[in-house]
Amino acid sequence: MNCSPAHSRAIDQINASCYDPSELQRFETRSEEETIELGRKIASQLPKRAVVLLIGNLGAGKTTLAKGIISGLGAAAPEEVSSPTFTLIHEYGSAYHIDLYRLDHAAQVAGLGLDEIFDREAVVLIEWGERFPELMPAERIEIRLSAAGGDVRVIEMLD
């Protein structure tokens, strides 16, 4: 098992024993289903309380990965997880899924009361949170997703 940083691993080679909280982990998925499965594996590595920024362009797979993470946490089934584009915040018990795409100003974000959510014992997944870095907690996990041709997605996790 190669656990070196930034080494690309196929989905079936992901092993929780490789987890080093300070390393960059790099994965590739080849379908929506593989991204959901990766989300489940990431869920098993997360502490009970975590803020996770999902960073990537529209269609990169942020919401798909959130489905996997939330289902891996046992908070909801993947098909119950929908994009919070319009409602901004979805709560699934111990998991929150937030999408700040439609907000333009920090004052709008500040009005959502995110600090109170960050204080809870919950995993908080945020799409487009990197647009408001001053409102995100310093202690956070960042997952960057990018399309790499066809259905391939490169997914990098920095803890």
Q: Which residues bind Mg ion (CB under 5 A)?
A: 62-63, 83, 127
Is 60 a binding residue for ligand ADP by CB under 6 A? The answer is yes
Q: Which of 9, 30, 40, 131: binder of ligand ADP (CB under 6 A)? A: 30
Is 151 a binding residue for ligand ADP by CB under 6 A? The answer is yes
Is 153 a binding residue for ligand ADP by CB under 6 A? The answer is yes
Is 71 a binding residue for ligand ADP by CB under 6 A? The answer is no
Q: Which residue is nearest to Mg ion (CB)?
A: 63
Cα distance between residue 101 and residue 77, in whole Å: 24
Q: Which is nearer to ligand ADP, 58 or 138 (CB)?
A: 58
Which positions touch ligand ADP (CB under 6 A)? 29-32, 34-35, 56, 58-64, 83, 127, 151, 153
